[in-house]
Amino acid sequence: TMADYLAGERSEQERADAERFGPKSEVVQLKQPNGKPFVGFRSVGKNWATVFAIVPSDEHGPLIPLVGEWKHGSESLSLCMPSGVPTKAELAGDDPMGACAKREFEEETGMRLASITPLSPNGIPLSGRQSSTRYFPYLGHVAMPIQPGPSKLDDTEYLALVLMPVEDWFELMSRGKVYEDCAASCTLLAGLNLGLLRAS
């Protein structure tokens, strides 16, 4: 348990990581739409931002910047768009999720965004029954000319940038090889925004 983990000899950094990433739960007392009282239990996590962007390429056609990262929750290697949680300074600003989206994209890809378009301004619940956490999808517009710099990763991050052709990414999705909910829904919303997909 978390209590057992923290009871051991932990460094200041390990305790900070536990506070930042450790699961938390809460009991909520609400009224249902019909007016009846309801007591529920849910996990509480940090909201985060995810950025879908397209990089032009003469050789391979349009490319999507993705991040390959080992995720300990699912114990699997996953591909997703650059994502992350806001810093304390960003949370104090006027647009914490937008600022987070721009910073995380630059840190994980080495590329700068000229602008972003929110694809769901109120965020998307990850598990409406069990969690209060939301993710905020963005369409990123990469600054031109593209001049990639080095990635700037946290000590706890172990990931690699993957530039994948748009068609290959859609193929992976159709074969059920995209394991992150936010990657699939962010792709769908961005694809509709860009006219890559059509709503019918």
pLDDT number for residue 29: 86
**How many CB atoms neighbour CB 181 within 10 A?**
13
pLDDT higher than 70, residue 156? no
Q: Look-up: residue for tokens 């057992």? A: 4
pTM of the predicted structure, to 2 decimals: 0.81
Lookup: tokens for 96: 């914490």
Per residue in 83-141, pLDDT tens?
999 999 999 999 999 999 999 999 999 999 999 999 999 999 987 778 888 999 999 99
Q: 147: helix, coil or strand?
A: coil
Is the CB of residue 49 less than 8 Å from the CB of residue 83? Answer: yes
Percent of the chain with pLDDT over 70: 92
